[in-house]
């Protein structure tokens, strides 16, 4: 009977273990099926007796339709003559496309072909369980434009921040405090997909350069994952229908505040400043959400920009000053 020696054991180990380790490595590195992203439903899933259907019905604008994109279904509307100059209007953080309710019809009546849509996680667009960063929003718009066969368009974005803690008995969105991101998306979109953007861009009270000190304590607090998990399970603590009834809404807001186009976009604005695009900035002097001081900072990054200052204007300029906004956009895009 053969006797095992330490030398024999070492030899056996050198012969057996390397192939085993190599096989285990290849098995571990072998491609797995991609993880399926959870998709949360939109306002379209709510019962017809929900107040949302009265405040913001599915046919809020004419010419509405849905398109299924990789991160969920998206609601969009097309207004105005088909041969008009193409304009995309981008809403902000929490209030969906209804923020343009007094501007979009005016542009359409003046001959523009207007595209409005709900961002992922808002209104009638699905809420994917993912990071709501500038790339997600820019890609959403690029795919939507591809779907409707638009090669290029003028782009206008309005900023936006929504205070999620307020009076729980109020279901109508407070539009004055609900606008912080569309401008940042417009800038990011112009950077990532310059071939899809015409030579003019409008940024209304644009986010993208905000400093942490200018974000309210409430906003910072509500953007934390812990608080979002609590508010999602306690709908009575939030005021808006979306946060009260849509599981993906609070997560979308929180991720947008952490990862979205609210701050850290100075490089995008610098690239915009180096482009051959004309840029129109519109700001209110009484804006407490994205303070007026950012207008001068934006101008320094985009030296070819023109600033329209609305004295006493707050952050809800598309609601409080729709005629001024509409006239400015028409003059600029014409």
CATH code of 52's domain: 3.40.50.1820
Number of domains in the chain: 1
Instruction: Name every residue whose Cβ is closer than 8 Å to that of residue 137 and which is 6 or more positions away in sequence.
Output: 119, 120, 181, 185, 188, 189, 260, 261
Q: Is 317 helix (H, G, I), strand (E, B) or coil?
A: helix
Residue 238 domain-assigned (yes or no): yes
Residue 3 domain-assigned (yes or no): no
CA distance 203 to 307: 10
Residue 5 domain-assigned (yes or no): no
Residue range 90-129, pLDDT digits in tens:
988 778 898 899 999 999 999 999 999 999 999 999 999 9
CA distance 164 to 178: 9
Residue 31 domain-assigned (yes or no): no
Most confident range, picked from 190-194, 274-278, 326-330: 326-330
**What's the CA angle centered on 179, arms 129 and 97, to 5 degrees?**
70
pLDDT tier for residue 239 given thresholds of 50, 70 and 90: very low
Residue 22 domain-assigned (yes or no): no
Burial of 193 (0-12, 13-18, 19+ CB in 10 A): middle
Residue 108 domain-assigned (yes or no): yes
Percentage of the residues of the chain whose pLDDT score is greater than 90: 43
Residue range 27-41, pLDDT digits in tens:
666 666 667 789 999
pLDDT: which is higher, 288 or 296: 296
Residue 11 domain-assigned (yes or no): no
Question: Is pLDDT above 90 for 235?
Answer: no
So what's the pLDDT on residue 262?
58
DSSP 238-280: --SHHHHH-TTHHHHHHHHHHHSTTSS-HHHHHHHHHSS-EEE
Average pLDDT in the 139-167 region? Answer: 76
The owner of tokens 């610098």 is 270
For 279, the domain range is: 38-333
So what's the pLDDT on residue 258?
78
pLDDT: which is higher, 69 or 316: 69
So what's the pLDDT on residue 167?
26
Residue 24 domain-assigned (yes or no): no
So what's the pLDDT on residue 283?
96
The candidate with the shortest Cα–Cα distance to 268, out of 197, 179, 177, is 197
**Token pair of 294 as six digits:** 């950012």
Average pLDDT in the 63-91 region? Answer: 97
pLDDT tier for residue 333 given thresholds of 50, 70 and 90: very high
Question: Is pLDDT above 70 for 171?
Answer: no
Model-level pTM greater than 0.85?
A: no
pLDDT: which is higher, 194 or 326: 326
The candidate with the shortest Cα–Cα distance to 220, out of 296, 163, 275, 276, is 163
Q: Which helix (H) or strand (E) holds 100?
A: none
So what's the pLDDT on residue 316?
84
DSSP 126-166: -EESS---HHHHHHHHHHHHHHTT-S-EEEEEE---B---S
Q: Look at strands 86-90 and 153-158 and give their pairing.
A: parallel
When the pLDDT of each residue in the chain is averaged and rounded to a whole number, the result is 79
């Amino acid at each position: 009977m053969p006797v095992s020696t330490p030398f024999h054991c070492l030899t056996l180990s050198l012969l057996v273990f390397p192939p085993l380790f190599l096989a285990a490595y290849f098995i571990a590195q072998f491609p797995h099926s991609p993880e399926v992203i959870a998709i949360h439903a939109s306002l379209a899933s709510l019962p017809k007796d929900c107040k949302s259907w009265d405040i913001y019905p599915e046919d809020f604008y004419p010419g509405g339709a849905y398109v299924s994109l990789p991160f969920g279904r998206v609601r969009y509307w097309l207004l105005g003559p088909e041969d008009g100059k193409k304009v995309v209007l981008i809403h902000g953080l929490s209030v969906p496309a209804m923020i343009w309710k007094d501007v979009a019809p005016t542009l359409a009546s003046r001959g523009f072909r207007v595209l409005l849509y709900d961002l992922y996680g808002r209104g009638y667009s699905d809420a994917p369980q993912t990071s709501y960063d500038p790339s997600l929003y820019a890609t959403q718009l690029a795919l939507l434009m591809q779907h409707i066969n638009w090669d290029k368009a003028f782009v206008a974005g309005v900023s936006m921040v929504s205070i999620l803690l307020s009076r729980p008995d109020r279901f109508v969105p407070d539009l004055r405090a609900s606008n912080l991101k569309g401008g940042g998306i417009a800038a990011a979109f112009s950077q990532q997909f310059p071939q899809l953007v015409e030579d003019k861009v409008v940024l209304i009270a644009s986010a993208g350069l905000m400093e942490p000190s200018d974000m309210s304590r409430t906003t910072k607090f509500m953007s934390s994952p812990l608080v979002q998990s609590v508010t999602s399970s306690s709908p009575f603590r939030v005021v808006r229908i979306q946060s009260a009834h849509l599981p993906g809404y609070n997560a979308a807001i929180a991720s947008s505040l952490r990862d979205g186009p609210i701050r850290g976009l100075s490089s995008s604005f610098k690239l915009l400043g180096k482009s051959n695009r004309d840029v129109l900035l519109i700001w209110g002097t009484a804006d407490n959400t994205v303070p007026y001081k950012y207008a001068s900072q934006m101008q320094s990054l985009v030296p070819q920009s023109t600033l329209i200052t609305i004295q006493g204007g707050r952050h809800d300029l598309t609601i409080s000053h729709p005629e001024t906004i509409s006239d400015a956009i028409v003059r600029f895009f014409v």
